[in-house]
Structure 1
Amino acid sequence: MSLAHALLDVRPLRSSPAFRRLLIGRTVSLLGSFMTTVTVMFQVWDTTRSTAWSGAVGLAQALPMAAFGLFAGAWVDRADRRRVYLLATVGQAVCSLLLAVQGFDGHVPVAVLLALVAAQSSFGALGAPAAGVFVPRLLPKEQVAAGLALNQITGQAMMLLGPAVAGVLLGRLGIGTCYLLDSLSFGLSFYGAFGLPALPPEGERSRPGLRGVLDGLRFLTGHRAVRGALLTDLAATVLSFPVSLFPLVNAERFGGDPGTLGLFLSALAVGGLLASAFSGAVTRLGRPGPVMLCASAGWGAALVLFGLTTGPWTGLGLLTLAGAADTLAVVSRSTIVQTRTPDALLGRVTAAEQIVGQAGPNLGNLRGGLVAGWTSGATALVSGGLLCLAAVAAGGGYGRGLNLLSPSRHHSSTAGHEP
């Protein structure tokens, strides 16, 4: 296999100008969003000096996604997805602008700040399922995985860059300017989607309200491959997500050095970037199910070994491997969802995928913290990784679906449950 074949597949950038514009707009908008995440945390802590209020920031971001996500997906499956995405983008920009206003004012109660964060997250819960149809509608089916890998690598890069930029700007220009820059970043995201054609659902439109949500849940429970992909991802993150354990493991094994702790967090992102950069062989393979199972097993195994190691550099290497495995699992999961879900249901299924992506790590951090409180950080890591491996082994049976899945197997827009 040549090096060119292994590198990130950039064919979508050449074959679809519309996808290219969307990717540029999404990347700039993500940079602004990560800046806002850091700025909100800084402002809340600076205002309250309370860990409880700081924890409430994550709650304000996660609750709207969990509460409105599936209903937003049902609406998306009844409407022009392009128009819904534009509406959501404008809503998020307005929320960022209001955050900037209160940031320049400097005397707004923290509850108002969190209400604006929750409102912005609500618009994000609407925009995410709408955006979920763009890649499979704009790219040939054999390039969907490559398009998702491009989304992943730009997201990882902005996750590294955004907090660093925010740290510099907060010290020099203040919190209001950071929020203002985020609001302006949505302009490019809006531009990227504005030139798209109308994208109504292909096939039968969603029924309104709860009935539409239940139709989506029936598809999820009845389609072996999609169900298996989401359950495997949820099990891997709930059982073994390690971030909440890093401070304790750092104190137990590596002397509590804050520099080492920061490197632990960076190592996961670096692994993700490397995996995305060399994802071409995987995305061209056309076998997302086996890739997801192997990547999820690699994630669990790397965390078991990280829990056992006593050397900081070995630990960083293992976390880099874990980050790479996680990225490949995410790309494969999204490929399964977007190539095996009928277009008429894709908004609801994408919303469920977003909820899994939000809830899994949060629940995993909670599980890890509880187990570590009863035992130790290393025990929580090792037990979580072993449970992840057991779940992946069971996940191979969710699917012949996952084991045999190839995106070249066509689905019709009216497909129901997979036998």
Structure 2
Amino acid sequence: MAFGDMVRRLAVDTRPLAIPDFRRLWAGQGVSFIGFQLTAVAVSAQIYDITSSSFWVGMLGPANLIPLIVFGLWGGAVADAVDRRRLLLTGSVITWAATLALLAQAALGTANVGLLLATTAVHATGFAITGPTRAAIIPRLVPAEMVPAANTLNYLAGGLGSVVGPLAAGVVLAQGGLAAAYLADAVLFTAGFYAALRLPRLAPLGEVTRPGLRSVLDGLRYISGHPIVMMSFVVDIIAMAFALPRALFPQVVAERFGDSPIAFGWLSASMAIGSVVGGLMSGWVGRIRRQGLALTFVIAAWGLSVAASGLVGALWAMVALLAFGGAADLVSSVWRQTILQTHAPDEMRGRMQGVFMVVVAGGPRLGDLRAGATATWFGATGAWVGGGIACALAVLVVGLAVPSFRGYRAGTREV
């Protein structure tokens, strides 16, 4: 195979960008996500400035997680019953209003932690509505064979935002302060709002169920009755709850690298760097048909790369191995998202994306809890390495034990 042909096969598949509605949605989401990261960093800095307490900064966790769980499930149910364009605009207005409220508090010099946490919860509510709605829209904008490529492009934009946003936040906070960071988010958010505004009407297809508790329960029953969908959530929880080493970064930096801020920064950015590089070399991802089996093995690779990174001593080796894990995590995210978007019928896609958001939000929190707890018993290295090995073993046992998931081929549906 010629080098040029190999590059074309590995390079990210950009065909979905030829579709104007998707292109606008993708670009708008990418730009606005940088602003989202700016606000996330600024709120943490503002609360610490007010309280000098990591406890109150930590309270941002439940302030974000509770709305994501409640309104992620509810928003997904609503997305299956109404025009998804209108719902995306509604959630966007909520998020935008919360950002403007944070801007006003910073400009007025308000020093009320409770008000900041409440505004953050409103901000998370808007995100919880727009997240599953936007994901449920994608299969309506691109052909089924392009859904993996569209998801890869979305995760690539998210990875870039996770690198650029925090770096930009440091510069903006240093030069302009909190109000400048929130103002930048509000301005950048206009790109996402414009993209939503330009979408066509997206009325629900198939049977429409009135949104509410019954609709949410119907979605959960659908998951329990369809092993392939259920397993897409189970393997994600295994990946994050067992192997994510994020909570161990401060201790490892203190023990191995003399509390170096540079080392901490590299470790914190390593997985996002890997996801960006993996996204740029993802042309092969959409050509994999045995997605259940491939998903099992790529999550095992994620766990083993995390374990290996905990055993090496050099910072560059740790970053490189974690970056490889970040690339593996991006690939697994694309396949999990694609299974949900193409395997479930359109009338269930919003609810599936709502549950997906809950799992994506909750899994890393479980991972932080697991890492912190096991570190008290086995030390940081034991918790780091043991978690990665446990992830690899658990996902292989569970993933290979379910025949329908093991044999699943892209584009097929359970009956």
TM-score, reference length from structure 1: 0.95
Task: Answer with 313-322 or 39-48: which moved more.
Answer: 313-322
Alignment partner, residue 11 of structure 1: 15
CA positional deviation for 1:153: 0.7
Q: Which amino acid aligns with 2:8?
A: A
Runs of at least 5 residues in structure 1 that lack an aligned partner in the other structure: 412-417
Alignment partner, residue 334 of structure 2: 331
Cα distance in 2, alignment partners of residues 61 and 331 from structure 1: 24
Cα distance in 2, alignment partners of residues 54 and 118 from structure 1: 14
Alignment partner, residue 317 of structure 1: 320
CA positional deviation for 1:200: 2.0
CA positional deviation for 1:400: 2.8
CA positional deviation for 1:394: 2.4
CA positional deviation for 1:66: 1.3
Task: Answer with 183-192 or 354-363: which moved more.
Answer: 183-192
CA positional deviation for 1:398: 5.7
> In structure 2, which of residues 127, 133, 152 is the aligned counterpart of residue 130 of structure 1?
133
Alignment partner, residue 189 of structure 1: 192
Alignment partner, residue 34 of structure 1: 37
For 1:123, what is the secondary structure of its paired residue? helix
| Superposed counterparts of 1:323-362, under 5 Å | 323-362=326-365
Alignment partner, residue 213 of structure 1: 216
CA positional deviation for 1:349: 0.6
Cα distance in 1, alignment partners of residues 290 and 119 from structure 2: 42
1:61 matched to 2:68: no
Cα distance in 2, alignment partners of residues 319 and 188 from structure 1: 32
Cα distance in 2, alignment partners of residues 158 and 407 from structure 1: 29
Task: Answer with 349-358 or 389-398: which moved more.
Answer: 389-398
Q: Which amino acid aligns with 1:3?
A: V
Q: Which amino acid aligns with 2:273?
A: V
Cα distance in 1, alignment partners of residues 344 and 399 from structure 2: 20
User: 2:278·2:327 contact (CA, 8 Å) conserved in 1?
Assistant: yes
Alignment partner, residue 149 of structure 1: 152
Deviation readout 1:197-246 (Å, 9 max, x if unpaired)? 22122111123311101100011111111111110001110111100011
Task: Answer with 51-60 or 312-321: which moved more.
Answer: 312-321
Cα distance in 2, alignment partners of residues 256 and 186 from structure 1: 36
Task: Answer with 176-185 or 397-406: which moved more.
Answer: 397-406
Cα distance in 2, alignment partners of residues 257 and 96 from structure 1: 33
CA positional deviation for 1:337: 1.0
1:292 matched to 2:295: yes
Alignment partner, residue 139 of structure 1: 142
CA positional deviation for 1:88: 0.6
1:43 matched to 2:55: no
Alignment partner, residue 234 of structure 2: 231
Task: Answer with 347-356 or 387-396: which moved more.
Answer: 387-396
User: 1:291·1:328 contact (CA, 8 Å) conserved in 2?
Assistant: no
Alignment partner, residue 75 of structure 1: 78
For 2:59, what is the secondary structure of its paired residue? helix
CA positional deviation for 1:74: 1.3
Q: Which amino acid aligns with 2:145?
A: E
User: 1:206·1:345 contact (CA, 8 Å) conserved in 2?
Assistant: no
> Relative to 1, partners in 2 of residues 1:180 and 1:256: Cα closer, same or farther, differing over 3 Å?
closer
Cα distance in 2, alignment partners of residues 102 and 208 from structure 1: 34
CA positional deviation for 1:301: 0.5
Q: Which amino acid aligns with 2:14?
A: V
User: 1:78·1:206 contact (CA, 8 Å) conserved in 2?
Assistant: yes
Alignment partner, residue 244 of structure 1: 247
1:204 matched to 2:203: no
Q: Which amino acid aligns with 2:391?
A: C
Q: Which amino acid aligns with 1:13?
A: L
Q: Which amino acid aligns with 1:324?
A: A
> In structure 2, which of residues 88, 92, 97 is the aligned counterpart of residue 94 of structure 1?
97
Q: Which amino acid aligns with 1:357?
A: V
User: 1:152·1:327 contact (CA, 8 Å) conserved in 2?
Assistant: yes
User: 1:247·1:261 contact (CA, 8 Å) conserved in 2?
Assistant: yes
How many residues in Structure 1 have an aligned counterpart in Structure 2?
411
Task: Answer with 180-189 or 99-108: which moved more.
Answer: 180-189
User: 2:156·2:279 contact (CA, 8 Å) conserved in 1?
Assistant: yes
For 1:375, what is the secondary structure of its paired residue? helix
CA positional deviation for 1:305: 1.3
> Relative to 1, partners in 2 of residues 1:278 and 1:346: Cα closer, same or farther, differing over 3 Å?
same
User: 2:237·2:359 contact (CA, 8 Å) conserved in 1?
Assistant: yes
Runs of at least 5 residues in structure 2 that lack an aligned partner in the other structure: none
Alignment partner, residue 415 of structure 1: none
Cα distance in 2, alignment partners of residues 32 and 270 from structure 1: 19
CA positional deviation for 1:404: 2.4
Deviation readout 1:169-201 (Å, 9 max, x if unpaired)? 112222112112212222211211212222122
